[in-house]
Structures are given as C-alpha cells and as structure tokens.
C-alpha cells in the first residue's frame, strides 16, 4: 500500500510549483513564475483568472441593496415578495415576528402555530430521511467536489473531452468558456441558473455543455463559430423534475446519447435523452439521496454514491446494481481508470483511498485467498509533517485520474497542497508518489481537473482560492507526441484480467463487503 512518504520536497517559501518534467519538479519565485521559461506545452492554453473585481456586482449584491431607499409596502405585498424570494417558511417567520407592528396579533399567533407544526413535521421527516436535512445551496456545499464551494470564486472546472476548451463556473452563477483557438469568451448565465454545482461537456460534440444547479440542469449550445459572447436562454435546454433538486452531480454516457442526473435530495437518478427531453427514472430504495454519479469510460458501469453509508455500482446493459456499504460516513469522491475496470474512491471519515476492481482482476497488494468482491486500501493518506514543517495528508475532498491512467491527483479537505501520484495499470495496479503542488501564499486549492486531449503526458488544472487557474504539466520520457495510446487504453482490461495469476501475497487491510 502506498503512503505519503517519498514525495519530493515542497518548493522553498515564496516559490510556487510550475511543472514536473522527467521526474523533476520545477518551481520559481511567485513574482517570476513563468512556465514558458521551462516548457511551452501549455503556451496556447487559455489564461484564466476569476478576480473578485470581475464578480464584484454579484459578490456584493446584498450590500448594493442598501443604496436604494426603503419603500412602504402593504402587508400582503411584503409577504408575497418574501414567499417568492425565500420560500413559505420565511414568510411565516416574518408574519410571526412580533417586531412588525402592522401584523394583527391573531395572525401572528396562527403563523407561530404553523411554524411549530412545520418544524415538527420536518423533524419527523429527517428522522426517516436523513438526506433531506439540508436543502438548496447548503446541501450543495456539503456534497460538492469543490472545496469551500460556498465561498470560493471558482465553483467548477470542466475540460472538453476532444479539444482545448475549458468551462469555468464562477461564484456569480455564470459559466465562462475559454478556448485556445479563440479570443472570445462566451458567458452562459440566466436568472434561474443559481448555485452551480457541476459541469460536463457532451462527448462527441463540440458545443454542448451541461450545467447542474439548484433549479435543475441547463444544457447549453455553445456555438464555436458564433461571435455572440452572451448567448440567450434560447440556446439552452432545461431539464428538471419535481423533487429532483438541487442537482448535485451529472454524467454523460461515453457516447453522449444519455445524460445522468442525481440530487442529494432525491433517491432517484434520471437518465435523460436530451434531444427528445425524455427521461427514465433509475431508483433503488435505501441509502438516501444520490450525491455523486460517475460513468465509467468503457460505458459498462455507473458509480452512484448515496448520502448514507451505501454506494452502488450499476451495470448499464440491464441496469442491475451491486449494493455496497462503507463502515461510516459516506463516499465523498470517486474516479474511474481509463479502461473502466478499476474504481478509486475515498470516504468522509478515513484518510484512505480505496480501489475496487470490477473485472475480476486482482491488485498487487491483494492476497490470493481474498474474496473477489472487496475494496482494498490503495493509498494511506494519514497526515505527516514534511521537512519544511508543512502538514500533508488527511481526508480527501476530490480525486482526479488522467485519461491515460498515469497520474492520480488528490485534493484534501484541510491541506493546502495538491498531491499527485503516479499510477500504472498494466500488468498490475501500482501507485507511487510523484510530486506536490503548492500555490501562492495563503492560496488554497478549490477544484482540480485533468485535460482530456493532452497526449504528451498530463496537464492538471487547479483552481485556487484567489481566482487563479493554473495549468500544471506532468511530462515524462515515457511519453512521446507520436505514440499511439488508444490501443494501450483499450486493451488494459484484458491485460488486467490475464494478470490474476501473478499476484503478490500480501494481506488485505480493509474491505467493504457486498451483500
């Protein structure tokens, strides 16, 4: 089992990590950090910085309300406004507030009684359905793959699977699309697209981007040849179902013909035929709402994590699930290998990354007499103190595996460093320390995403708490621009299966048993 011991040292104080080339991490002082002095592999990548000034009108919209003079409204009109903007419960609270002198005492007592009834019903509901305790943005912040989702300027990142195009969702509920071959930056925004939780580009399409938010899912048509930088809502298809909000996770099928949506408030997933705006519900009782979904690159399986101790791995031919449970907490994050035969995941309670093989192949540290259906400890992330005095490790917030299966990036909950591991899929799964990425002083990493169409190695894109987006290349002598990797990826599954006879005799540290 791999651990955090063996990473190269962090850059000196005042330096930031730039790239990893041929086993060496390059860094530079913050005021002289120019990656082009080291390598030009990302010189044409879009430069992205989402500053507070750019979002000022949204970041301070509450303060801007104070500019306007208060107006006298009738009681009915004021209650209607509160109900429309904040909901029925807030309207009842306003009605029951004794400081409002224009409300009749009888009406206040009725509103207070209705509030007590509502709280009682809510407590009973939460006892039987724990996933309904939070709602709206608070629920998204609790399950989002972005660290500090509710306060960071960048909430989501998504690379296009086929071209150098990056979608960035900002705190002001807008989505900006940056492209390497265009100076135009389309901004996707509309009134009901609030509290964006996730982004996903449609495979085999150059222009369709799905945006999951509190209202539902907006599928935008971003025409690459258009000069319009603010498309209207006529360019978006809205997918929503009653009770299926907020949408906390979305995943396209590898061929792009289905869009899977999940809500931590709903135990049902929906598979959408976007062009026809038709859906098929996918439901199993128990475990709570579905916090996260991820479609395997092979298309054969779908991972679905519930808000409780349950997670399921669905077989997509007949949509039959395997039900798994964790010891405590819930699954926080997960990612698939490029061949779709290995799943890596982490929970909210343990500083450990687990691996689950779906092909029947065993893993290097798996014992010969181990049951075939177990999840094994792959990486121990117990916090350690580095020579520089920095703390490394802890609970995992997000995982990202590059499209070639050579690098696994880890975003921690309470550590300001991104850890990158080297991984090998053939003939056995191996995980080893690669490098650490640290940003500017007082910067915290919020989101990570690997570029999908980079074949000279890997490029990890990191969104920092300052609004800066960094492209961190990982280059190795094993890579060459002319190398054909498609055959290697497609045959990974068969090679893993054939490696079952050559397994090291090591004990299993922990497992999750299927029923």
Q: What is the pLDDT of residues 200-228, one digit of tens each?
A: 999 999 889 999 999 999 999 988 777 77
- Rounded Cα distance, 135 and 192, in Å: 17
Residue 489 falls inside a structural domain: yes
- Rounded Cα distance, 110 and 119, in Å: 14
Q: Select from 87, 110, 137 the last residue of a domain.
A: 137
- Rounded Cα distance, 457 and 42, in Å: 12
- Rounded Cα distance, 161 and 465, in Å: 25
Residue-number span of the structural domain to which 33 is assigned: 1-40+337-515
Q: Which tops the pLDDT comparison, 484 or 200?
A: 200
Q: Is the pLDDT of residue 474 over 80?
A: yes
pLDDT for 303 equals 97
Please indicate, yes or no, whether residues 402 and 490 belong to a single structural domain of this protein.
yes
Residue 205 falls inside a structural domain: no
Report DSSP state, residue 10. Answer: P
pLDDT digits (tens, 9 = 90+) for 444-462: 999 999 999 998 899 999 9
Q: Is the pLDDT of residue 361 over 80?
A: no
pLDDT for 126 equals 61
pLDDT digits (tens, 9 = 90+) for 92-119: 888 888 777 677 888 888 888 888 888 7
Specify the range with the lowest mean pLDDT, choosing from 174-183, 256-265, 401-410, 473-482.
473-482
Residue 368 falls inside a structural domain: yes
**Pairing between β-strand 301-306 and β-strand 331-336 as defined by DSSP bridges:** unpaired
Q: Which tops the pLDDT comparison, 280 or 62?
A: 280
CA-based R_g, the chain, Å = 24
Please indicate, yes or no, whether residues 88 and 9 belong to a single structural domain of this protein.
no
Please indicate, yes or no, whether residues 403 and 468 belong to a single structural domain of this protein.
yes
Q: Is the pLDDT of residue 401 over 50?
A: yes
Q: How much is the average pLDDT of 397-420? A: 95
Q: Select from 88, 114, 137 the last residue of a domain.
A: 137
Q: Select from 86, 117, 137 the last residue of a domain.
A: 137
Residue 201 falls inside a structural domain: no
Residue 78 falls inside a structural domain: yes
CA atoms within 13 A on the CB side of 211: 34
**Pairing between β-strand 445-450 and β-strand 458-464 as defined by DSSP bridges:** antiparallel
Residue 433 falls inside a structural domain: yes
pLDDT for 127 equals 62
Residue 484 falls inside a structural domain: yes
- Rounded Cα distance, 193 and 81, in Å: 20
Q: Model confidence at 485, in pLDDT bands (50, 70, 90)?
A: very low
pLDDT for 12 equals 86
Please give the tally of structural domains in the chain. Answer: 2
- Rounded Cα distance, 35 and 25, in Å: 12
Q: Model confidence at 153, in pLDDT bands (50, 70, 90)?
A: very high
Q: Is the pLDDT of residue 512 over 70?
A: no
pLDDT for 68 equals 53
- What value does the mean pLDDT of the chain take? 83
Return the percentage of the chain with pLDDT > 90, whole number: 51
Q: How much is the average pLDDT of 31-53? A: 85
Specify the range with the lowest mean pLDDT, choosing from 33-37, 68-72, 192-196, 235-239.
68-72
Q: Is the pLDDT of residue 81 over 60?
A: yes
Tokens of 121: 């019903």
């Amino acid at each position: 089992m791999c651990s955090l011991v063996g990473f190269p040292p962090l850059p000196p104080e005042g330096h930031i990590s730039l790239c990893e080339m041929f086993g060496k991490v390059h860094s530079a002082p913050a005021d002289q950090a120019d990656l082009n002095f080291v390598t030009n592999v990302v010189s044409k990548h879009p430069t992205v910085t989402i500053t507070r000034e750019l979002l000022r009108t949204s970041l301070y919209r509450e303060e801007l309300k104070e500019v306007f003079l208060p107006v006298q409204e009738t009681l009915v009109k004021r209650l209607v406004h509160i109900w429309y903007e904040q909901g029925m419960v807030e309207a009842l609270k306003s009605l029951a507030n004794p400081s409002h002198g224009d409300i009749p005492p009888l009406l206040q007592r009725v509103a207070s009684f209705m509030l007590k009834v509502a709280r009682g019903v809510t407590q009973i509901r939460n006892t039987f359905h724990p996933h309904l305790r939070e709602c709206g943005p608070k629920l998204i912040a609790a399950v989002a793959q972005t660290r500090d989702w509710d306060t960071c300027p960048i909430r989501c990142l998504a690379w296009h699977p086929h071209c150098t195009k990056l979608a960035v969702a900002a705190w002001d509920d807008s989505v900006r699309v940056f492209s390497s071959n265009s100076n135009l930056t389309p901004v996707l925004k509309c009134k009901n697209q609030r509290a964006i939780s996730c982004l996903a580009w449609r495979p085999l399409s150059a222009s369709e981007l799905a945006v999951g938010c509190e209202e539902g899912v907006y599928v935008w048509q971003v025409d690459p040849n258009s000069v319009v930088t603010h498309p209207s809502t006529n360019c978006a298809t809205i997918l929503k179902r009653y009770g299926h909000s907020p949408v906390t996770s979305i995943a396209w099928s590898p061929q792009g013909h289905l869009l899977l949506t999940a809500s931590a408030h709903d135990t049902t997933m929906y598979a959408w035929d976007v062009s026809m705006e038709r859906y098929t519900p996918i439901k199993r009782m128990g475990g709570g709402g579905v916090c996260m979904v991820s479609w395997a690159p092979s298309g054969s399986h779908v991972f679905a994590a519930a808000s409780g101790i349950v997670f399921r791995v669905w077989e997509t031919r007949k949509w039959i699930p395997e039900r798994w449970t964790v010891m405590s907490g819930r699954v926080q994050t997960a990612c698939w290998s490029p061949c779709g035969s290995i799943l890596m995941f982490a929970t909210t309670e343990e500083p450990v990354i687990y691996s689950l093989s779906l092909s029947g192949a065993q893993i290097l540290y798996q014992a010969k007499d181990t049951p075939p259906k177990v999840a094994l400890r792959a990486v121990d992330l117990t916090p350690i103190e580095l020579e520089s005095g920095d703390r490394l490790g802890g609970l995992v917030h997000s995982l990202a595996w590059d499209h070639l299966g050579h690098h696994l990036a880890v975003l921690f909950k309470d550590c300001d460093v991104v850890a990158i591991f080297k991984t090998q899929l053939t003939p056995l799964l191996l995980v080893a320390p690669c490098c650490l990425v640290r940003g500017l002083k007082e910067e915290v990493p919020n989101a990570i995403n690997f570029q999908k169409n980079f074949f000279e190695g890997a490029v990890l894109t990191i969104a920092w708490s300052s609004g800066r987006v960094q492209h961190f290349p990982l280059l190795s002598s094993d890579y060459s621009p002319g190398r054909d990797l498609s055959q290697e990826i497609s045959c990974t599954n068969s090679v893993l299966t054939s490696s079952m006879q050559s397994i090291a005799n090591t004990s299993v540290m922990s497992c999750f048993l299927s029923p």
